[in-house]
Amino acid sequence: MPFIEFFKVGSVIFTRFGPQLVYDLKEKGCKVFLDLKYHDIPNTVYGACYQAAKIGVDMLTVHSLGGCKMMKSAMDGIRKYEDEEGRKGPLVLAVTILTSIGEEELKSELLIKEKLKDVVLKMVENSSNAGIDGIVASQSETSLIKDFNKDIITVVPGIRPKWSKKDDQKRITTPCEAIKSGADYIVVGRPIYTHLHPKEAAMKIVEEMDSAQGL
């Protein structure tokens, strides 16, 4: 599908097919967003990000709840790759709070008493201090993130066109709403791959994005 530039490779499909899928996508001229949300001790995340850069991904994710030291180590892994290869490594994005988690789960399950938006902004601040390139957050927090730092890359998951199902997501948005709120990228999964005609679904979403941008 030439109108799609990036393909997200998440934990399910990466566990099934491994790095070979990344190689295959790159051979076809695609960009790869490796969404494994690394969340481990700093040394492990350092090695994981370095290896992700080595296999050729263009963007990858770490989890901001791993803390500043872990996120700095992620960036150190990318810098090591860049020093060795003499070229730019992948963008590193920090996941804030999963879009399947709402205010209730934040308090009752994670025992975090602050409001969700305040937690997200703290994670954004930590990520920025660690040198992370961008943030993965819901559309409802995008404008707040851009107010904090207008240059930070924002990636919005939980995209559900009006014609698709909500599924297990709590903080969802449409493609138009995400773009208008300042999203630089949107992540669309099930509305495309569970559709009877995936290519048709993808084209409809691209058209919605174009309309939001006045194209």
What is the structure's pLDDT at 172? 67
Closest CA to 90 of 151, 27, 147, 22: 22
Identify the CATH number of the domain in which residue 114 sits: 3.20.20.70
Per the structure, the count of domains in the chain is 1
Instruction: Please provide the size of the chain in residues.
Output: 215
Please, are residues 64 and 54 in contact by the beta-carbon 8 Å criterion? no
Strand 91-95, strand 134-136: pairing: parallel
Flag whether 1 is in a domain: no
The pair phi, psi for residue 115, each rounded to 5°, is -65, 150
From 8, 26, 28, 37, the catalytic residue? 37
What is the structure's pLDDT at 212? 63
The predicted model scores a pTM of: 0.86
C-alpha 35, offset from chain centre? 6
Q: What are the residue ranges in the chain where pLDDT is below 70? A: 1-3, 162-172, 195, 211-215
Q: Which domain, by its residues, includes 68? A: 6-210
| First and final C-alpha spacing in the chain | 20
What is the structure's pLDDT at 3? 64
Note if 37 is an active site residue.
yes
What is the structure's pLDDT at 52? 98
